[in-house]
Structure 1
Amino acid sequence: MDPGIIRDSNPAMTATETAAADACAREATATSHRYAIPLALRWALYISGLVVLVMVVLGWFLISQQQKSYRHQTDLLGEMIIDQFARAASEPLVAGDLLSLEVLVSQQEKNALILGMQLLDLDGRPLASAGRIPVGLNNPLGSSSPDGGSASLVTGDGSAITYIKPVLFQRTAVGQALVSIDRRPLERNLQRLIRALVATTIGLIILGSLLAYPLARRLCRPIHQLVQVGEAIDRGEAGILEEHQRRDEIGQVLTSFRRMAEGLEQKRHVERTLSRYLSPSVAEKVLSSPDGHRLPGTMTEGSVLFCDIVGFTELSERLEPDQVASLLNEYFHYFSLAASSSHGTVDKFIGDCIMIVFGVPDADEHHALHAFTCALLIQSIAEEINRQRQAAGETTVLFRIGINSGRMLAGNLGGEERVQYTVIGDTVNLASRICGLAEPGGILLTHMAASQPGMEGLTRPSPMGGVRLRGSRRNVIPHEVDPGGFSDLELIQEGMEIILRSREAPS
C-alpha cells in the first residue's frame, strides 16, 4: 500500500491556502535575493557619493579662486610700490641727485616684502640700489613696457617677482626702476588657507557621510511603513493601517492600501466561505478560472464513496434536532479530514450521508485504492469516536460504506443563479445502492472498484453473491474487505491518530 495515501500534513489546510503560502514563500525568497542590500544603505551610499562630488568640486573652485585672488593682490601690491618708487625718483634722476636717490632706495627697502630696489639710467647702468635684485634680468630695459606701464618677471624658483617700470619725467623716459617682491610670505599664507579649505572640505565630506545613513533611513521610513503595511495586509492584519495617518503622498498611497486591504479581506472571506461549502480543490478551480461558475462537464474515471448512518430515522426520533446536528457535525468533521488526507473530495452532505469522490476534479490513477483507504479510515475513526462517546455516556452510531468505480460526468450543474459542482451517472447511483447493502460498520465495493489498479488482494467477493439492485439491469457482485489481504492496518491506525489529534470544534 502506498504510504503517500495518508498525507503527512495538516488535513484541515486547504489546497488554496497551501498554494498561496508556497507562492508567498517563493516571492519572499526572490525578493530577499533581489534586494540583498537594504534600501537605506544604498541611498546612504548615493547621498555620500553626491556629498563627496559636490564638496570636491566646491573645494577645487574655492582653492582656484583663492589662488587667483592672492596673485592678483600680489600684483596690485607690486605695481603700487613700483609706481610710487618711479614717481619719487623722476626728479632726482633728472637732476642727477644721486644722494637723494640712495636715500629714496634705502627708505623703500624697509618694507619687509621688498627684497631689493634699483634705479638704472637709460643705458642700463645702476645709479642707486639696495638689497638684492634676482639674477636673470640680462636686459631689464627690454623687459619694461614701452608705453610706460610696469612689467613683471618671476624667478625660476618662484620665490620672488621683479617689477620693472620706466621712470618718466614729463612723459619722457629718463631711466628704469626695479623692485623685487618676496612671494614666500604670501605663498605661505595661501598654503595655510588652502590647507584650511582642504581640511574643511574633508571634514564636511566625513560629516555628510556620517549623516547620510540617518538621513537615508528617515527618507526610507515611509517606504518601510508601506512594506510593513503590505506585510500586514498579506497576514490579514488590516488594523495596522489605522496606525499610519499621513497627509502627504505616502498618505494617499496608504489610503489606497487601506481600500485594497478591505478588498483583500473580503476576498479572503469569500475564499474561506467558499472552501467551507466546496471542497478545497473545487474551490481552487472555481477561483482560478476566469469563468469558474461555468466549469464545463467532463467525462472522467473515478470512484465514489457513500457513507450513511445506520438507523438514522430512529435516531432522529429519539434526539432533538440540535443534538442530531451536533452529532452529525462531529462525525462528518473527521470524515472530511479523512477524505482530504486520502486524496478525496467531499462532494456533498445529504442528510445523514456523506458523498466523497476520488479522481475528481484532479485525475488520480489510484482513485479506487484511495477510496478504499478512506473507507477504512472512516470506520476506524467512527469506532474510536464511539468508544469515547460511550465512555462519556453519549449516543453512538454505526456507519455503512459503499464504493463504486467507473466513468462519470463531473462539472457544474444548475442554472445561472445557482450551480453545484458534482458528479452524476450510473457509477454514482450504483455506489449509493450498494451502500445500502453493507452491514453496520461494514464496507462493500462493486466488482469494478475491486478490480481497479492497486486493489489486488485487498477484497474478496461477498457471501451474498450476485444481487440485483434497484435501477440496475444486471446483477452486481459486492466485494468486502479481506482481512488477510490487507497488511497496512498500522498505517490506517497512524492516519486515524493524526486526524483525531487535529481535533477542532466541529463546524
Structure 2
Amino acid sequence: MMRAVTVSAPETPEAAAPGGAPAPPTEPAPDASDALRIKWYRRFHVRLTAAQGGVVFLVLTVMAAVFYQLGYHAELTGLQGRLRATVATLALHVDVPAIAALDPAGEPNSPEVRALYQRFKAVAGTDKDISTIYLLRKTADPGRLRFVIDYANSGDAGRPGQLYDASKLPKMREGLEQVAVESQLWGDEFGLSLSGYAPLKLPSGESVGLVGVDVDAVRVRKMSQRVLTTTLALYGVAGLMLVLLAFWTGRRIRGPLAEINAAAARIAAGDFVGRAHIARKDEFGLVARHFDTIAASLQERDFIRDTFGRYVSAEVARRVLGDRTMAALGGEEREATILFSDIQGYSTMNEKVDPHEMIDVLNSYLGAMNEVIDAHEGVVIEFVGDAILCVFNTPNDVNEHAQRAVRCALAMRERLATLNAEWIHTRVGEVWRESGYSELMTRVGIHTGTVVAGNIGSRTRMKYGVLGDVVNVAARLEQLNKQLQTSILFSQATWERLDGDLKARVVPQGKHAVRGREAGVEVYAL
C-alpha cells in the first residue's frame, strides 16, 4: 500500500462563468484620446490643485487660529504671572494688624495708609501696564468689601470706606484666602480690567482683606491686536507661497499624467510594445518604468497567477516558474530521501496542557525545525499536527541528499535541545516531567529510494505530492524508534550513501520487520 502525502492549494478561478455560462462581455478598452475629451474641471491636475489649495488654506486657517490662540494665551499667561508676582509681593509688605485696627469708615491720613499709598504709586509708576492698585477690607457681608486705599493712574478711584460689590467676582472672593488672578476681563463702575488679588491675613491666619492690582483692558486689547497682526501677516505670506507652489505643482503633474494615461490606454488595448518613455527621476518616472515593465511581463501574468494559486512550498513554486511543464498534471520518478519527524508523547501533552499554550509551543517548534530543514536544502511537504514530512532532492536537485537529510536530523535534535532549555519552566515542561520525560523529544525516520513526485488532481485543482514505498518506510522507521528507544533511525539505503565521518558515528540496530513490507529492513541509529 502506497502512502501519499500532499499539499493542497485553493482553486484557480475559471475564465468562464459558473455553470458553463459564457463570461460576461467586457467593456471596450479606453482610447488614448479619451483624456482629451475630459472636461477641464474634471481633469486630475485641476482637481488635485483645487483640493490641495483648499486643504492648504484650511490647514493654514486652523494653524493661524491655533497660533493666535497660543500666542494670545502665552501673552496672557505671562501677564497673569506678572500680576500674581506683583500682588503677592505687595501683600507681603502690608502691616496687616495695623490695617485691621483702622476705622472701617476709613482713615486716609493714617501713617500706615499714606505709606502704602506711596508704595502703590511707586509700583504703578515702574510698571506701565498697571492701572490701579487697591486694598480692600472684609465686611460683615461676604459679598461686599470696603476700600482702604485705591491708587489709580487715571480715572475714578474708590474713596476710603466706600463699599465695593464683589458678589459677582468669584476670583476676588477667592483672593481673600489665596493669591488669585482673573482669566478674563471683568468690568465694574471703574472700568474694564484684568485683575489679580492676594489675601491679607493676621498671624492667626484670619483673613481681613486683600490687595488688588488691575491691568487696563486697553493693554490686553493691544496685546491681542499685536498677536493677531503677526498671525495674519504670517498667514498671508504662507498662503501666497502655497498658492504659487500649488500652481507650479499642477503644471508639473499635467504633462506626465497625459503621457502615463496614453501608455495605460495602449496597455488596456493589448498593445504591450508601447512604452511611457518618461525620463524623470521622481515618482512619475518610477511609475513610467513600472508601466514599461508591466508591458513586457503581462504575457506571464495569467501563468504566474495560476501557478502561485496551486503551490504552497516556495521551492516548488520557484521550480514551476522556471519550468512550465511542472504545472501539468502527472509526476516524475526521482531518487529522494524522505525525513519523517514526530514529537514523543504529543497526545499526552495535548490532554494536559492548555490549548493556547500548546499551540504557541507547537508553532515555535515547527518554525525552528522548518529553519533547520531549509538550511539543509530540504523541502517541507506537510505539517500534520506535530509531525513533519520533508523531502530532499525533489523538486530541486540536491547533491548528497541522503547525507544532508541525516545531518538535518542531527541539527534538528540540537535545535530542540535549545528549545527545551527555553520551555523547561513552562506548563509544557511540567507535563513532560509528570509524564516521565525529562524533556521534549522527537523521533525521526529517514529512508532513501525512488518516489513519484508531482501533481495530482484536475486542471482546476491540483496537489503536489510525494508517493511511494519510501514514504511509508520513513514513517514506519519513525515509529520504530519507540521500540528501540532511539531518536533517529534510517535505513540501509540511506546508510550506504553516507560519508565515512557519519558512518563512524552510526550504531547498527539490525534487521526489523516493517508493517506493509514482506522483507525486513536493516536500520541504523544516531
Question: Normalising by the residue count of structure 1, what TM-score does the alignment of the two structures yield?
Answer: 0.41
| Higher radius of gyration, 1 or 2 | 1
Higher RCO (Cα < 8 Å, 6 or more apart): 2
